Amino acid sequence: MPQSASTLTDSDPSPVTRVSVVPGGPVEGKIRPPGSKSLTNRALICAAFASGTSRLSGTLVSEDTEVMIESLAKIGVSIKPVDGGRTLVVEGVGGVVSDDARKISSETPVEMFIANSGTTVRFLTAALSAFGGKYRLSGIDRMHERPIGDLVDAIAPALDGSIAATSEGKCPPVDIDSNGWTGQPMRVGGGVSSQYLSGLMMAGPIASKPIRIEIVGEMVSIPYVRMTARLMESFGGVTGWEFDGDEPWSGLRCVNVEGSYQGCEFDVEPDASAASYFWAAAAISGGRVRVEGLTENATQGDVRFARVLEQMGCQYSADQIGITIQGEPLSGIDVEMGEISDTVQTLAVVALFADGPTRVRGVAHNRFKETDRIGNLAIELRKLGARVDEHDDGLTIHPLPDPSRLSVDSPVVMETYNDHRMAMSFALLGLRLPGIEILNPACTRKTYPDFWADLQTLTGRSHVWTTTGATGVMAP
C-alpha cells in the first residue's frame, strides 16, 4: 500500500522547505556525478574485512555511506577520509586481528544505526553474521517497514548462533549473536532484492570457508549481482555460477563463493542512477547532456537507462569518456525495467512528455524500497492531471493532457516521502512545467547531497527556495 505523506498543519510548528526548479530552454552541458553508492558501500565491506590497507578513490559522500562507515568503525575498522571523503583509506580487520575485533562485541551487542540505508542493513547483516559477534542494526521508522526476512531466513540455518528480524513482517531491527557461519549451503529468495544475494556473496570470504548459495525463484536486478562479483574479484573473492537453461543470467540458480579479501586500490565509478536525471533532463528539454566518467562498459547496469531514452526517440552517443543524450520528440514505449529499477521514477517523469503511453514492467519489488515507488509515484503524478495506471509488476504512464493549465499562481506540491529518488525525479518536472514545488528537498543527502547545486549549474538557472513555518514564509 502507498505510504501516507506527511503534511504541514496550522498547529505544526516545524518549518517546511520547498524548492522549485525554474523552466527554461534546452538543457546543455556536461557533468560528472558523484561516486556510485552501490560501489562505495560494497567496496567498504570488502575493504573492512580484508587483510591489509585499501585505498578507495572516487567514493560517495552521503548519508548512506556515512552510516556504513560509522557502523564499521564500531568493530575497529579504521577509515580515514582524504579529499573531503572522496577517497577513503581503509585498514581492514581481516586475518590475524579478527579475533581481537570480535571481542569488541563479545559481551553486549554493538548498536548500529543505519538510518534508511538498504545497502547498509543488508550487507552488514550478512557480513557481521559471518564475522561473528553480537550486534543490533536499527534505523528510522521506514527502515523498520522494509522486509529483510528472506536474508535472515537464508542465514539462520547456516549460522552458529542466532539471528532475528524483530519488527512485524520480518523487518529490522536485526539482532545477531553469532560465532560465524557453519559452511552449510544457503537458500535465498530472489524476488524482493538482489542485495540479499549480494550481501551473502560478499560475506562468503569473511566466513573463511567455501559457501554455496542457492537462489529460489527469479532474481531481480541481475546487473547488481554481476557488479558485486566483479568488485569482489578486485579484493580476492572468487565466485562460480550455475544456471538453468540456455539463458545464463535469467536462469541463475546457484553461486559458489570462496577466497579471502586482501587490501587493494579500487576506483569507484560515478553513480549511474544519479546520471539518469541528467540524461533525462536532456530528453525532457530537447537539450544535449554528456555524462562523463561512465561508459558502455561500466559495471553499473543503470547506464542502460540512456539506451531506454534512445528507444523513446533521443539520440545516443558514447565514447571512452562518457555517454551523451540529445533530446528529440519522445514516443511512448513498453519496457522491462527489472534490471534498472532505480531509474523507474526518472522514466515516469520523462514519459509524461511523450506522444503515447509508456508501460513499465518487471518492477514489483519497487514497492519495498525507501517508499512504495509504484503506488506513491502514481499518487504524485496524478496531482499534475496525469493518468497513471498501476499494475502488479509496474505501471503505465500516459502523456500529460494539458501542461498549460499549470502555473506559478496555482502551484502543485509534490511529496517526496523522504525518498531521494522521488525528489530528484520530480525536479525534472520543473524543466518544463511552472509551479512545481518539491517538499523536503534535503532528502537527496541520502545519496547525492550536491544534487540541487549540480542541477542548477547545469541548467544555468537558480532554483526558488521557500521555508514555511507556523507563522508563514521565512527567508529562503
Q: Return the active site residues.
A: 342
119 contacts 76 by C-beta, under 8 angstroms: no
Separation between Cα atoms, residue 4 and residue 6, nearest integer Å: 7
Which helix or strand (DSSP H or E) is residue 468 part of? strand 464-469
- Within 245-352, strands assigned E span 252-259, 265-267, 288-292, 315-318, 322-326, 334-336
For Cα atoms 361, 142, 77, give the angle at the middle one, nearest 5 degrees.
105
Classified as helix, coil or strand, 79 is strand
**What is the spatial order of strands in the sheet that 388-391 belongs to?**
334-336, 358-361, 394-397, 388-391
Reference 464, options 9, 20, 161; nearest CA is 20
Phi, psi of 83 (to 5 degrees): 55, 50
How does strand 110-113 pair with strand 133-138? parallel
For residue 39, what are the CA distances in angstroms to 35, 157, 268, 412? Answer: 8, 29, 6, 36
Residue 303, amino acid: V
CB proximity list for 281: less than 8 A, separation 6 or greater: 27, 287, 289, 428, 431, 455, 458, 459
**Cβ burial, residue 207 (10 Å; 0-12/13-18/19+):** buried
Please name which of 116, 108, 242, 103 lies closest in space to residue 175, comparing C-alpha atoms: 108
Q: What is the rounded radius of gyration, in angstroms, for the C-alpha atoms of the chain?
A: 22
φ/ψ (deg, to 5) at 107: -105, -65
Question: Residue type for 348, please?
Answer: A
